[in-house]
A and B are shown apart, each in its own frame.
Chain A
Amino acid sequence: MVAPILAGVAVAAAAYAGKYGIEAWQAFKARPPRPKLRKFYEGGFQAAMTRREAALILGVRESVAAEKVKEAHRRVMVANHPDAGGSHYLASKINEAKDMMLGKSERSGYPF
């Protein structure tokens, strides 16, 4: 006789657990996405720029599309513009990075 009551309580408990579980998961997903606990990269820039470094400078993947490269370049350049307190050295590195990313991907995209 008490079994249906217990069953009902169990269902209610499961429902509440599910509700709060989903809310917690959504809050977790919606948290600010920047992981500040990362360790900084060591040293200065490489003597000769590589595609890997160029991708890192722009904050994109090496296999990213040209459109994304241009977007990233614009964004990163605004943050480091010499007229807005940035340094010419960084600006030139950012430009170099963009050229490297676009140059390589243009070549690979050529339908030969």
Chain B
Amino acid sequence: MQNAVRKAGKSITEQEARQILGVTEQTSWEEIVQKYDKLFENNAKAGSFYLQSKVHRAKECLEEVYRSKSTPS
């Protein structure tokens, strides 16, 4: 299942980021931001700061991915 060799959450992977936000490789950036906003707000109100952080890091990671996609080198 999960690659056990991966370091203990040192930096988030794109795959995990997508899982955290519940999005696929086909999901558009706008949809991702929508999911992020909802999850972030829900966790700010009733979740834990830890989960909020993970949601934030997931969005950060995908932001990088989508940014590099839209500006092809």
Contacts and interface: CB of A to CB of B under 8 A. Distances in A.
A50 B63 CA distance: 29
Interface residues of B, number: 37
B8 A79 contact: no
Nearest to A58: B48
A34 B51 CA distance: 15
Contacts of B38: 85
A57 interface: yes
Contacts of B54: 41, 44-45, 90
Given A44-B13, A45-B54, A47-B2, A86 B42 contact: yes
Main secondary structure of the interface of B (DSSP, over half): helix
A88 to B, nearest CB: 7
A90 B45 CA distance: 16
A59 B48 contact: yes
Contacts of B55: 90
Interface string A41-54: 11111111000010
B2 A38 contact: no
Interface string B42-73: 11111111111111111000000000000000
Interface of A: 34, 38, 40-48, 53, 56-59, 72, 75-76, 78-80, 82, 84-90, 94
Interface of B: 2-4, 6-13, 16-17, 19-22, 35, 38-39, 42-58
